Amino acid sequence: MEDKLSVLKTEGICKITKSKMSIEEFESFCKSFLKIVKLLPDDPNVIRVSKDQVFGVSDMPWHFEGPWFNDDIITVTYNHKNCEKFPTEFINTNKVVEKYCKDIDYFKNIKVVLKNWGRIKSDEYKEVNVLQERDGKHYLFIHPKYTKNILNDTKDLYRDLISKFEERDEDIENMKYTPELNQHDILIYDNSKIIHTRPKNLSDAPFDRELWRVTGIL
Q: How far is CA 184 from the centre of its chain?
A: 20
Count of domains for the chain: 2
Task: Determine the pLDDT at residue 121.
Answer: 67
pLDDT tens sequence across 61-86: 899 998 888 899 999 999 999 989 88
pLDDT tens sequence across 14-55: 999 999 999 999 999 999 999 999 998 999 999 999 877 666
Are 71 and 103 members of one domain?
no
- Dihedral angle, C-alpha 160, 161, 166, 169, nearest 10 °: 100
Task: Determine the pLDDT at residue 7.
Answer: 87
Q: What is the pTM of this model?
A: 0.93
Are 81 and 10 members of one domain?
yes
pLDDT tens sequence across 128-145: 999 999 999 999 999 988
Are 99 and 165 members of one domain?
yes
Are 59 and 134 members of one domain?
no
Q: Is the pLDDT of residue 115 over 90?
A: no
Are 197 and 158 members of one domain?
no
Are 13 and 30 members of one domain?
yes
On the 0-12 / 13-18 / 19+ scale of CB atoms within 10 A, 175 is middle
Q: Which domain holds residue 155?
A: 92-172
Q: Is the pLDDT of residue 176 over 80?
A: yes
Are 42 and 22 members of one domain?
yes
Are 20 and 49 members of one domain?
yes
